[in-house]
Structure 1
């Protein structure tokens, strides 16, 4: 993948275009590209969930951008999680030897992580901090609302990937 992963792309875009890494002051990617990538990433998650497979470690560095500019989700085996992108219910048990956290990975834990990735994409950042801060004023309210739903404290309130895909305008 000559373009690398999503985290690399976001870092390179800011380095090449001027803003320092992590400054978050300038948005560089066209919204149409961001929305297309958000839909592609969400479609990948929806396809996994359709066969009752769960990623467990959805994060920007697990999204590759191919030579055609398409976003591809990788690393489908839940053998570890990245704390920064993990759902709170996973973080609560990850160090408890009584739990095999891999068995606790569900569609709804994936949806939480996906929401964080979609926020990072919209904001063109590799750093995710809670509560979310929306600096990009061009991000549509419907997109922001969809991301916020993914981060619901009650995992039963999070949307399914297929529902999120429709919220993002995909057909």
Structure 2
């Protein structure tokens, strides 16, 4: 963990599945740093017990040679960091999962800022996930109980006001808004969590082009627009114009899930991520598709309609099947019977256009899937 600490699995009496954070090299200066972290972590644990904060359970003073001692910070052990999760899953992560992560982190930040505590090192490696994939903020070694700060610290790329404070520190006492700096770091994290084909952080060289990068994604995925707007707002150059954490909580709460998450029809555990062409069915996750393709390496058929798959793609749309617009009218004319969606029947007709996934039923021709909703 960073360049100062190591983390070890531990047990404390009857408490199991714990983690101990301890210094790599103990000295009077580094022990003072640990004591300060323990102080802020204890405050946050006490005042944010209902939030998504990793609690500090115990502080243990371990005696070492020459009458010296060191402090160990003991807390629950978690499955993995958010960074490890994103590296492994970003290519198949559903947008609703991204919003869930963003909401829980923003809620924790809002509670910290309400208490006038700033974290000052918000990043994916300082967010832990439990077995239910819930987010928890960790590492309060850089925390401070004042919104206005003068210490130059954090993870690159730093907010522009911290860079300016560093460049001007020879001129005298320079401060910056620590809460706004947290929001800037959160904006970088929002980009990192954005579903994409491969894991990518926003580095300092890409920052000048971030608006173009995000707008290109928004054009292909309209439902991401609100989320993308918040990234741009958090990364704004003027600290006072960045949104507050509690404002972000309200915005993320207002983003509805696109449609219910559909599980792979093969394993029934992971989300569907692979769409087949030319049939356009999206019914399998990436892992099951790779296994299916290996077993049928000559002519791979769609498991739903048995059409030979010539191309497979990945997207973030929930629809099982896309109907091309030039076929829509003939489908409406031929199947003007009943529209079935979540147990409710509606009449099919000319008022339909592309949108929600549903089924049309015909006694002779059976069931086919189409992506439709009403004007």
* Same fold (TM > 0.5): yes
CA 1:141 to 1:11, structure 2 compared with 1: closer, same or farther past 3 Å?
same
1:30 equivalent in structure 2: 94
Give me the TM-score of the superposition, normalised by structure 2. Answer: 0.38
Q: Any residues of structure 2 matched to 1:69-148 within 5 Å, and which?
A: 69-78=133-142, 80-84=153-157, 86-94=158-166, 98=170, 104=176, 106-123=178-195, 125-128=199-202, 129-130=206-207, 131-132=209-210, 133-134=213-214, 136=217, 137-138=220-221, 140-148=224-232
Deviations 1:105-164 (A, max 9, x none): 511111111111011101453421313223654351111111111111111100100001
CA 1:126 to 1:73, structure 2 compared with 1: closer, same or farther past 3 Å?
farther
- Which one has more relative contact order, counting CA pairs under 8 Å at least 6 apart? 1
Deviations 1:61-109 (A, max 9, x none): 111111111011112332731112x2111122336654788x6351111
Q: In 2, Cα distance between the equivalents of 1:75 and 1:92?
A: 25
Q: Which moved more, 1:87-96 or 1:41-50?
A: 87-96
1:21 equivalent in structure 2: none
Whether 1:40 aligns to 2:40 is: no
Q: In 2, Cα distance between the equivalents of 1:67 and 1:95?
A: 43
Q: Do the aligned partners of 1:60 and 1:117 also contact (CA within 8 Å) in 2?
A: yes
More strand, by proportion: 2
In angstroms, what is the RMSD of aligned CA positions?
A: 2.5
Q: Secondary structure at the match of 1:11?
A: helix
Q: Do the aligned partners of 1:10 and 1:126 also contact (CA within 8 Å) in 2?
A: no
Unaligned runs of 5+ in 1: 15-26
For the pair shown, the structure with the greater C-alpha radius of gyration is 2
Unaligned runs of 5+ in 2: 1-76, 144-152, 255-375
1:20 equivalent in structure 2: none
